[in-house]
Structure formats: structure tokens, C-alpha cells
Copies of this chain bind each other. A is one copy, B any other.
């Protein structure tokens, strides 16, 4: 049987690693399991930011300038919404809306998110398997010095400015992993964890009991790519959040947070080495497609070194 690979991922940074893997692995050998803790309803439309970011990135539709959303996006919906007194703290692009409207209609018709995402990926000729972590409702909430905030209110509206006290994943304990998720982790030749924010983007997956158990039980090596570069995060609030939680902003903290199921951590340049986990070093910045391929190769090589 040909080799299979699974990657757990969150948003923009994670999508870049998946893109690198997708460019070098044989078609159909890759499964991406995606955080849905950021998902929410906006004006009744179900928005799945991390899944859509992955779809846009892999299909060449991602907006390189904005760093999120679609290339060539227009904003006439938002302009009209605003003219009618609608809320404009969360930007829905005109093209982006198609995914939310189709998803909303299909969900209302009884289709699962898993099936909907598979049909989106097929329509855009993507030859990997993209799975939401769950078809159940899991919602990330952030407790801050301004009170408990739904994820997007914290992340988008308040731009991560409130001081973070703790994170919770409503519904995760009772959520079932989506069909195929546990099997992918258990039967892969390597399981990778993308350089997404461990506390906000990876932890929602780990909060689903069967996903955590599969990571512990899988015979495959589990390798994470650290989101830290030179003692800070490339993008997003990882470092700020670690400081607010009273944690040292080190790879050692990342490895310790992931815990015993982690076999090795891929770290950047001459950054600090985790004390409790095997590691390898590479330039983990992923500006270009070549960068993404290099990081993907390094992560796969580290996994291969861990196995057997």
C-alpha cells in the first residue's frame, strides 16, 4: 500500500505547510484535518475560516496581498450591507460569500460539513482529502480581561488586543471526530502538526477526545512544526498569548504543551531546542512556494527519522 500522510492544521500558516506537502506528495496520499473551532455564523451564514483558507491556498485562489481571503476579491456586498446599517466588523468578500451561502444551504438540507467540504475540494480539483475536525458544533471562546469573547470577536473585531486569560472549546468534549479523522491519524505513515497557533488553532482538535487519543495511540511518528521564529511568531498572536499565559516563549514550551504524543519538533534556524523532544532545524519561514516545499520536506524527513 502506498504511503499516507496526515496533517493537523489551523489557518494561514498551517495552510502554507499543507500547500508544501501537497506539492511534493503523490496525489491522494495526503489528508488535512482542519480546525473548525473558529467557525461561526455571521448573519446566519456559516463561516469556516480555516477550511476556506486551506481551499483558497491549495487552489491558488488565496490573496497574497491581504494574507487572507481570495485573490481579486471585491467588497460590494460589504458596501451594500453597511449602507443598510449592517455590522461591518467581519469582512465577507463577494466571492467568499459563495462558500458560505452554499455551505449554509447544504447544512440546512442535512448535508454534513465533511461532505460539503469534499464537494468544494472536488469542484476545485483538489486531490487531497480535507476533513473538518468534526461535523459537530465546537466553538472557541477566549476568556480575557474584557470578559469571555467568541473567537472571531477576539481575533477579528478586537484584533487580539484584550489580555488572554484562558481558552475554551465549547462542545469539544462531546464532539465526535469527523468520519475519516481517526482512521487517517491511525493509518498514516506520518502525522504532522502545522505551525498554527497551538493554543488557538491546534488545541481545538486536541480537545476532541478521540483525536487526542488517536495521536497518543497512532504507530506513526507525530512531528509538529513550531510556530515560533526567533522567539516570536511569524504571524498572529502566538507570542503575545504565551506571554499573557505566563509561559516562556520557547520551543520547549511548545513541545511541553503538546506533550507525550509528540515525537519531534521542527524548529527554526538556531532557535532554542526543546529539552523533552527530538528536533530538527530548518528555515521555517514560508514566503514562497519553494519555502513551503522545503519546510514540508524537512518535516517529512524528521518524521522518517523518528520512525522504526
Interface residues of A (CB under 8 A from B): 43-45, 70, 72-74, 76-81, 83-86, 93-99, 101-102, 104-105, 108, 119-120, 123-124
Known interface pairs A98-B86, A101-B45, A105-B44. Does A77 touch B77 (Cβ–Cβ under 8 Å)?
Answer: yes
**CA of A72 to CA of B76, assembled, Å:** 9
Q: Is A77 in contact with B105, judged by CB distance below 8 angstroms?
A: no
Q: Is B96 in contact with A80, judged by CB distance below 8 angstroms?
A: yes
Residue among A72, A84, A105 facing the most chain B CB atoms (10 A cut-off): A84
Chain B nearest CB from A169 CB (Å) reads 26
Known interface pairs A73-B76, A74-B74. Does A84 touch B102 (Cβ–Cβ under 8 Å)?
Answer: yes
Q: Is B84 in contact with A120, judged by CB distance below 8 angstroms?
A: yes
The 10 A-B residue pairs with the shortest CB-CB distance in the complex, in nearest-first order: A80-B98, A94-B94, A76-B94, A80-B95, A81-B98, A76-B95, A44-B105, A43-B105, A84-B123, A85-B123
Chain B nearest CB from A116 CB (Å) reads 10
Chain B nearest CB from A285 CB (Å) reads 30
Chain B nearest CB from A91 CB (Å) reads 13
**CA of A83 to CA of B101, assembled, Å:** 14
**CA of A76 to CA of B97, assembled, Å:** 9
Q: Which residue of B lies closest to A101 (CB)?
A: B43
